[in-house]
Chains A and B, each alone.
Chain A
Amino acid sequence: MVRRLPEFLMIWVPLLLSAAHLISFSIWTIWISFTPSTLIPVSGWVGLHNYTAVLASRNWQIAFDNLLLFGIAFVLFSLMTGLVLAILLDQRIRAENVLRSIFLYPLAVSFVVTGTVWSWLLNPGIGIEKLVHDLGWTTFHFDWLVNRDMAIWTIVIAAVWQSSGFAMALFLAGLRSVDADIIKAAQIDGAGPIRTYWRVVLPTLWPITITVIVIQLQFAISAFDLVRALTNGGPGIATQLPALVVYDLMFQRSQLGRGAAAAVLMLLILLAVLLPYAAWRYVQRRQANHA
């Protein structure tokens, strides 16, 4: 027991401290969301007023629609790109290490940098569109960044670029852990490479896929720095996302109560993703124990 004390302290003390922080600040935010706080937190009770005000605001409605679109598109595309990259890298090719580093590299770059760089690349006046025009294809058109209807997709592009490498790394680890004997057995049975992947290898990747989806979704919900650097919610207010709305309400508009309400709404969205995941994990573990 004495020997295990240091380990016990190392793990549990920080864990308990973080949990206490998380829970106390969440409760504090929930409390603020029911008060008439503006510049500084004040006590008082306004009921659901802050929530109805946020839900009725155009900014939040746009942000919520954008979140749905961005969340789904971003997760799907980064999963697909990551999986394809992982399968290609899995073919025991030369220079695999170099390629893997290149694909993982964007992950090492902060989202602010990603956003800034892509905001230049996607700017029709100076970026890709101009490059193609200068090459001679003058009818080429790619102005999504400044197009209200398409701007949200530029955020998807930049976010997928950033985190496909992460999905790839996880998938690659999964692919490498598939038992070589099973693959050999499939080959002996006469399955081609595509059939082998589709029927034998990929089904073993489900747990990894779910993990990647959950991690990417919680990123999508809390996305802030990327959007701030890339479009800053524009053109106009077309690419608002919930985190931008929270920041805007709290620190630009000095409406702490409404900002807290928006933050709590974000927390609820996050729980809507995490709770089913936790339930799924629970069921998985029980099945594993029964087996």
Chain B
Amino acid sequence: MPITTTRRRLLAGSAAALALPAFARAQGAVKPRLTAISQWSAGSDGAAITALGKKFEEKGGIWQHSPVPGFTTEMMNKLRAQIIAGDPPACSQLKGPEIAAWSKIAPTVDLDSLVAAAGYEKVVAPDLAKLHKPAGKWIALPLQIYSTNMLFLSKRGMDKAKADKVPVTWADFNELAEKMKSAGMAYPLANGGTRPDDGQKFEASFAGISPTAYRTAIMNLDKKALQGPEIKAAFAQTRKIADWCDPNVGAQPYATNLKRFVDGDMGMLIMGGWAQGVLKNAGFKFDDFTIVPGPSDNGKPVFLLNADAFIFWQRKEADLQAGQTLMAQLVMDPAIQTMYSQITGSIPVRTDVDLSGAGWSDGQRRTAAALKDAVASNQAVLSLAHNMAQENGLTAAMIDVITEYVKNKTIKPEEAVTRLADAVESSR
């Protein structure tokens, strides 16, 4: 028998459908629901967020994640459109000072009581905590941490150079690079040619030379520190690094050189923990390389923080609000952070998670130990190259100077210092 739909039946049906959410609210039986947008669609990032969604559903929630493939900026364009349309997602990925900037264009959720209930504040690095409560109240939650200045040492490269000592200071590093060069490696340092890649070389140099000067100059934009002797030394070290890098990479990502790194044609790599995941996916083993904290002239680890986070946008719907509460609790949960980091190669935001068990790599253990030490000695600072230290506009203006300096070896360090200070001044 064919199904016939009369207009009246259709109208009645849609009226019932429209009334349903209101009816559910009236019953007080809301099912937590979360609308989320992020850039994490593929690879280990995609796998991790999918796993998080599964946990959300296990707790009885409805998980509605819309990934926007590409870079953070693509995700931001969708976020911008949704905010302008008055329909922000219940939560979205956002990190660094952008949290403060974006929180001014739409109302956010006050997470203070949830954070207090989880005892979260005590276990988060102070500089990181500040970013997520720009006006004094928690409005966003960090999800995972990377250090952008981890030093990867190639086992075969070390063997080739007959080196067994892990470099601690920049002097050690420079010595090892020279050693590798005399052992026949034309380019001892694996690199890419992208802007963040160049930025990472500079920030690792600067923070390794003086985390205090880095904090005042790059994070606080102090005029005097921006022209101080440490920043000049940082540019000089960056130039040394650039001379050890393959200039032929063009605009390609660092991953282009990973095989040469593992094969020992390039002995070292300065990169965040995410490179572990890329190496693993490319079929390389953890025996092929070692991960240690990047060079630090005072011997104590310097940690250049790069943290992914979620910001929570105010919604009136009861089910979305319940979803936000559930999501916040999940993100702060040590078990969830463990699961997430084990998939992506990052480390948990919580400094109290035990990484001794199976499922963690030595590199992750060393990264977590470095974070603990760095927080204790006040040497955990925010990464410039990965948009943690400044808003996008200022970051981009500074990276312009750095990337030009890395690629153009006729620019002198003191010239670069002046240009950087000018760039900061003109984009304020």
Q: Please give the residue numbers on chain A whose beta carbons come within 8 Å of chain B beta carbons, in ascending order.
A: 38-41, 53, 56-59, 119, 122-126, 143, 145-146, 148, 230-238, 248, 251-255
Write the chain A residue with the least CB distance to B98: A254
Query: A231 contacts which of B77, B247, B251, B408 (Cβ < 8 Å)?
Result: B251
**A251 and B407: CB pair below 8 A?**
no
Q: Tell me how far the C-beta of A20 lies from the nearest C-beta in chain B, rounded to whole angstroms.
A: 21
CB-CB < 8 A to B393: which residues of A? 38, 253-255
**A39 and B101: CB pair below 8 A?**
yes
Q: Tell me how far the C-beta of B374 lies from the nearest C-beta in chain A, rounded to whole angstroms.
A: 29
* Stretch of B6-14, B154-162, B288-296, B398-406 with 4 or more beta carbons under 8 angstroms from chain A: B398-406
CB-CB < 8 A to B396: which residues of A? 248, 252-253
Query: B400 contacts which of A53, A58, A235 (Cβ < 8 Å)?
Result: A58
Knowing that A38-B101, A234-B195, A254-B391 touch, tell me 20 more A-B residue pairs with CB under 8 angstroms: A39-B101, A39-B105, A53-B426, A56-B426, A58-B400, A122-B250, A123-B252, A146-B193, A146-B250, A231-B250, A234-B193, A234-B250, A234-B403, A234-B407, A235-B193, A236-B407, A237-B400, A252-B73, A253-B393, A253-B396
Residue contacts A-B, CB under 8 angstroms, 15 given: A59-B400, A119-B251, A123-B249, A123-B250, A126-B248, A148-B408, A232-B194, A234-B195, A234-B250, A234-B251, A234-B407, A235-B247, A235-B408, A236-B406, A253-B392
Per the bound structure, the CA–CA distance linking A125 and B249 in Å amounts to 8
Asked whether any CB of chain A lies closer than 8 Å to the CB of B246, the reply is yes
**A39 and B102: CB pair below 8 A?**
yes
Assuming the contacts A123-B248, A232-B251, asked whether A252 and B392 have C-beta atoms less than 8 A apart, the reply is: yes
Per the bound structure, the CA–CA distance linking A146 and B256 in Å amounts to 15
**B251 and A237: CB pair below 8 A?**
no
The interface centre, meaning the residue of A125, A126, A236, A255 with most chain B CB atoms within 10 A of its CB, is A236
**A236 and B248: CB pair below 8 A?**
no
Q: Tell me how far the C-beta of A240 lies from the nearest C-beta in chain B, rounded to whole angstroms.
A: 9
CB-CB < 8 A to A235: which residues of B? 193, 247, 250-251, 407-408
Per the bound structure, the CA–CA distance linking A237 and B101 in Å amounts to 27
Per the bound structure, the CA–CA distance linking A235 and B426 in Å amounts to 23
CB-CB < 8 A to A58: which residues of B? 400
Main secondary structure of the interface of A (DSSP, over half): loop
Query: B247 contacts which of A59, A146, A233, A251 (Cβ < 8 Å)?
Result: A146
The size class of the interface chain B forms with chain A is 20 to 34
- Cβ < 8 Å to A, chain B residues 61-111: 73, 76-77, 80, 83-84, 98, 101-102, 104-105
Per the bound structure, the CA–CA distance linking A233 and B104 in Å amounts to 32
CB-CB < 8 A to A40: which residues of B? 80, 83-84, 105
Write the chain A residue with the least CB distance to B193: A234
Main secondary structure of the interface of B (DSSP, over half): helix
Assuming the contacts A40-B83, A40-B84, A236-B404, asked whether A143 and B392 have C-beta atoms less than 8 A apart, the reply is: no
Per the bound structure, the CA–CA distance linking A41 and B81 in Å amounts to 11
CB-CB < 8 A to B80: which residues of A? 39-40
Write the chain A residue with the least CB distance to B393: A253
CB-CB < 8 A to B251: which residues of A? 119, 230-235
**B246 and A125: CB pair below 8 A?**
yes
Write the chain B residue with the least CB distance to A115: B251
Q: Tell me how far the C-beta of A112 lies from the nearest C-beta in chain B, rounded to whole angstroms.
A: 13
The interface centre, meaning the residue of B77, B105, B392 with most chain A CB atoms within 10 A of its CB, is B392
Write the chain B residue with the least CB distance to A124: B248
Q: Tell me how far the C-beta of B282 lies from the nearest C-beta in chain A, rounded to whole angstroms.
A: 17
**A238 and B102: CB pair below 8 A?**
no
Write the chain B residue with the least CB distance to A256: B80
The interface centre, meaning the residue of A38, A126, A235, A248 with most chain B CB atoms within 10 A of its CB, is A235
3 nearest A-B pairs in the assembled complex, by CB-CB distance: A125-B248, A236-B407, A236-B404
Write the chain A residue with the least CB distance to B74: A251
Binary CB contact string for chain B from 183 to 200 against chain A (1 if under 8 A, 0 otherwise): 000000000011100000
Per the bound structure, the CA–CA distance linking A254 and B395 in Å amounts to 11
**B76 and A251: CB pair below 8 A?**
yes
Q: Tell me how far the C-beta of A264 lies from the nearest C-beta in chain B, rounded to whole angstroms.
A: 19
- Cβ < 8 Å to A, chain B residues 373-417: 391-393, 396-397, 400, 403-408
Write the chain B residue with the least CB distance to A149: B408
Per the bound structure, the CA–CA distance linking A119 and B248 in Å amounts to 11
Q: Tell me how far the C-beta of A245 lies from the nearest C-beta in chain B, rounded to whole angstroms.
A: 11
Per the bound structure, the CA–CA distance linking A180 and B428 in Å amounts to 68
CB-CB < 8 A to A251: which residues of B? 73, 76-77
Per the bound structure, the CA–CA distance linking A158 and B246 in Å amounts to 23
CB-CB < 8 A to B404: which residues of A? 236-238
Write the chain B residue with the least CB distance to A40: B105
Write the chain A residue with the least CB distance to B394: A253
**A119 and B252: CB pair below 8 A?**
yes
Q: Tell me how far the C-beta of A66 lies from the nearest C-beta in chain B, rounded to whole angstroms.
A: 14
Query: A148 contacts which of B73, B76, B252, B407 (Cβ < 8 Å)?
Result: B407
Per the bound structure, the CA–CA distance linking A251 and B249 in Å amounts to 25
**B249 and A146: CB pair below 8 A?**
yes
CB-CB < 8 A to B248: which residues of A? 123-126, 143, 146
**A236 and B408: CB pair below 8 A?**
yes
Per the bound structure, the CA–CA distance linking A56 and B102 in Å amounts to 27
Per the bound structure, the CA–CA distance linking A56 and B423 in Å amounts to 11
Per the bound structure, the CA–CA distance linking A254 and B403 in Å amounts to 20
Q: Tell me how far the C-beta of A43 lies from the nearest C-beta in chain B, rounded to whole angstroms.
A: 14
